Structure 1
Amino acid sequence: MKLIGNSWDYVLFSVIVMVVAIVVGRVLRFVMGRFVKGASRKLKVDPTKYNFLKNAVEFIIYIIATIVIFNAIPPLRDYGTAIFAGAGVLAAIVGFASQSAFSNIVSGIFIVIFKPFSVGDRVRVGQQYQGDVEDITLRHTIIKDFENRRIVIPNSVMNNETIINSTLTEEKVCMFIELGISFSSDADRAMNLMRDEALRHPSCEDNRTAEEKSIDHPQVEVRLIGFTESAQQLRAYVWAKDPSTGFNMKCDLNKSIKQRFDSEGIEIAYPQRVVYLRENFSPQLLNAHGTSSPS
């Protein structure tokens, strides 16, 4: 069906379409700008890193307006068909080549919306990477590990991995102090020594509820959690205000408890093997293994 009758109609129609496209593009840029600024404040990142997304949306609006104009004006329709056919092939090639990048962008948007972690959080990604989130962009997440190295992980990987966030709701953490003592050592005495050393540490936090305090529940619990081939395995549950403090406290307690055990006669277990030697052996058995019998 012929939508437009003469050349002035063509011009007027084109101007109207372009004006509408400009208005819609500006409105979308404003709305997205508000969203990006809010998300950037929460994530503590530079909002200018997301400007390309607003520009891309406005560019798509202009492309759609151009397609409408070429399709509505008969003299331009044939040229438009050839142009957009070639552009379609090019877009398909570019789209196929940028699948990974687009996946990272979508994953970055999901991270901004659902906030499984934020800048400054201490996270463990899978079983390989651990550190503090330093920056989040639409393409990748940067984690600073404990050796001050930067780990750049694509957002699509972050969305597919299991993430342990130590600071998502609260930073307080329970540290496990585990030591194995020999079977000849007094387990009750060793447990009391571990509890005493933990309570002496300045970073030990009291995480008991009011009810637990009223019934005199111990601030630091120590349990005999099992046995190995050569040890009684003890574990102390010690709370710290945050993961960094907890790690330092755990290192201090490993040292102080070892020194206390040494001074109190509690033996740290180590692998042992008992070997029995038979006094009566057969010379024929030795000869069978290539050893000559004594003359």
Structure 2
Amino acid sequence: MQEFWELNKGTIIYALCVVGIVCILRIATYYLYKFIERKSALKYQGEDIAPIHLIKRILNALWIVLGIMALAFIVIDEESYKRAQKNFEIVFYLGMVAVITLVVASLVRMWFKRAIAKKTALNDDTTSYRFLRYLAVFAVYFVGILLAILAFPSLRGIAQTALGGAGLIAVVAGVASQEALANLVGGLFIIFFKPFRTGDVIKITDTMVGTVTDITLRHTVLRNYENKMIVIPNAIINKEKLVNYDLGDRRCCEWIEIGISYDSDVDLAKHIMREECEQHPNLIDNRSELDLHNEVPKVLVRVTGLGESSVDLRAWAWAMNFPEAFVMRCELLESIKKRFDKEGIEIPFPHRTMVFKKEQLQAIVDDLKKEKAVENDEKEG
């Protein structure tokens, strides 16, 4: 036993030191994780701590892998020692790059989240911060990947070219698709020219109307009035003509359009529409001082067309914003319809006149007579 100890004393001490260092590093990682978790819970309540869990798992796995590789130095020959040492350095380097990238990305995300919260509390526009948050986090991960590539000699030229500055756009353009680049550029145009901001109510098509909740590198998210999220690529938004109900004056003019029959009293119908509009709680007085002086009605009602079967009437009703205008329009259509029914104002509906040839008409009459005769026979029977 003494002889075995003397022969392998250095190896045994080395192995014990490696195991001890790995255990110390894992314990230190555990206590550091607990410390950061407590601090985050106290200082940043409600913050996502998933990145902290991920960093802890990466470090624990890294210490074990490095420990195994260090123990493998005992059994390898001198020719393989340099290659194993190189692999050890690469693994350590990649682990540190992954940890640092996650830490920096978490700090960037946390900073933007707090900045957005402050802007929201002050009722300031947060659109730029929301978009730049995605751009900054993407840049952190992109640089982290490039730094990881530097560990491999065969790929080092690509990383150095990209990190050089001018090659960055070329690398991105070569890897990304044309559609992805179009969405990215579209997002930048939205941020720079500000056709809308987060919180604005916009209309792209009749089926894409809602409140802007987020603008990312790829798409814009709308929440419609069914509480459904509509995800629209930025490239599509930049090609479409959109209506921003919150850009400038938020007041909204709603058209209340109803057709009445030619036999109905036009003046009475106009009076009913004006009266119902003026009684609605969402209606606002949008008249100017000159309109008030000239005694212009609060709600204008005019004949806008003479259709094939109806006289088309339109009332111009103003509300404070688009949501209130939409509710007002729906409720006014219902209340005006009820008043029309009560006052005898007819709303026309489609009629169809069918013309039959004499032979066809006679055949129909004969069939009806036969059916009636059969019914009579059945009753007598």
TM range (shorter): 0.5 to 0.7
The answer to whether the Cα contact below 8 Å between 2:262 and 2:311 also exists between their aligned partners in 1 is yes
Larger deviation, residues 178-187 vs 263-272: 263-272
| Cα distance in structure 2, aligned partners of 1:190 and 1:202 | 21
1:151 aligns with 2:236: no
2:243 is paired with a residue whose SS is strand
1:214/1:85 Cα in 2 relative to 1: closer, same or farther (>3 Å)? Answer: closer
1:163 aligned residue (211, 223, 242):
242
Larger deviation, residues 106-115 vs 265-274: 265-274
- Give the greater-gyration-radius structure (CA): 2
1:102 aligned residue (160, 178, 181):
181
Q: Which residue of 1 aligns with 2:4?
A: none
Q: Deviations over 1:226-276 (max 9, x none)?
A: 122211111111001111111111111111111111111111111224567
Aligned CA RMSD, in angstroms, stands at: 3.9
Aligned residues: 237
The answer to whether the Cα contact below 8 Å between 2:253 and 2:316 also exists between their aligned partners in 1 is yes
1:201/1:267 Cα in 2 relative to 1: closer, same or farther (>3 Å)? Answer: same
Deviation of 1:286 after TM superposition, in Å, equals: 7.0
Deviation of 1:53 after TM superposition, in Å, equals: 5.2
1:284/1:117 Cα in 2 relative to 1: closer, same or farther (>3 Å)? Answer: closer
| Cα distance in structure 1, aligned partners of 2:315 and 2:360 | 56
Instruction: Return the structure number with greater relative CO, CA threshold 8 A, min gap 6.
Output: 1
**Residues 63-74 of structure 1 mapped to structure 2, 5 A cutoff:** none
Q: Which residue of 1 aligns with 2:376?
A: none
2:250 is paired with a residue whose SS is coil
The answer to whether the Cα contact below 8 Å between 1:171 and 1:243 also exists between their aligned partners in 2 is yes
1:42 is paired with a residue whose SS is coil
1:121 aligns with 2:200: yes
Deviation of 1:166 after TM superposition, in Å, equals: 1.0
| TM-score, length basis structure 2 | 0.53
**Residues 171-190 of structure 1 mapped to structure 2, 5 A cutoff:** 171-190=250-269
Deviation of 1:129 after TM superposition, in Å, equals: 1.1
2:262 is paired with a residue whose SS is coil
1:197/1:270 Cα in 2 relative to 1: closer, same or farther (>3 Å)? Answer: same
1:43 aligned residue (114, 118, 126):
126
Deviation of 1:98 after TM superposition, in Å, equals: 3.2
| Cα distance in structure 2, aligned partners of 1:146 and 1:232 | 32
Q: Deviations over 1:113-159 (max 9, x none)?
A: 11000111111113441111111122210001111111111111111
1:274/1:42 Cα in 2 relative to 1: closer, same or farther (>3 Å)? Answer: same
| Cα distance in structure 1, aligned partners of 2:185 and 2:236 | 12
| Cα distance in structure 2, aligned partners of 1:127 and 1:262 | 30
**Residues 131-142 of structure 1 mapped to structure 2, 5 A cutoff:** 131-142=210-221
The amino acid across from 1:166 in the alignment is: Y
The amino acid across from 1:221 in the alignment is: L
Q: Which residue of 1 aligns with 2:377?
A: none
The answer to whether the Cα contact below 8 Å between 2:173 and 2:181 also exists between their aligned partners in 1 is no
Larger deviation, residues 102-111 vs 113-122: 102-111
| Cα distance in structure 2, aligned partners of 1:143 and 1:163 | 13
| Cα distance in structure 1, aligned partners of 2:198 and 2:257 | 32
The amino acid across from 1:204 in the alignment is: L
| TM-score, length basis structure 1 | 0.68
The amino acid across from 2:349 in the alignment is: Y
Structure 2: where are the runs of 5+ without partners? 1-110, 163-169, 370-381
The amino acid across from 1:51 in the alignment is: A
Q: Deviations over 1:171-223 (max 9, x none)?
A: 11111111111110011111011101111111111111111111001110101
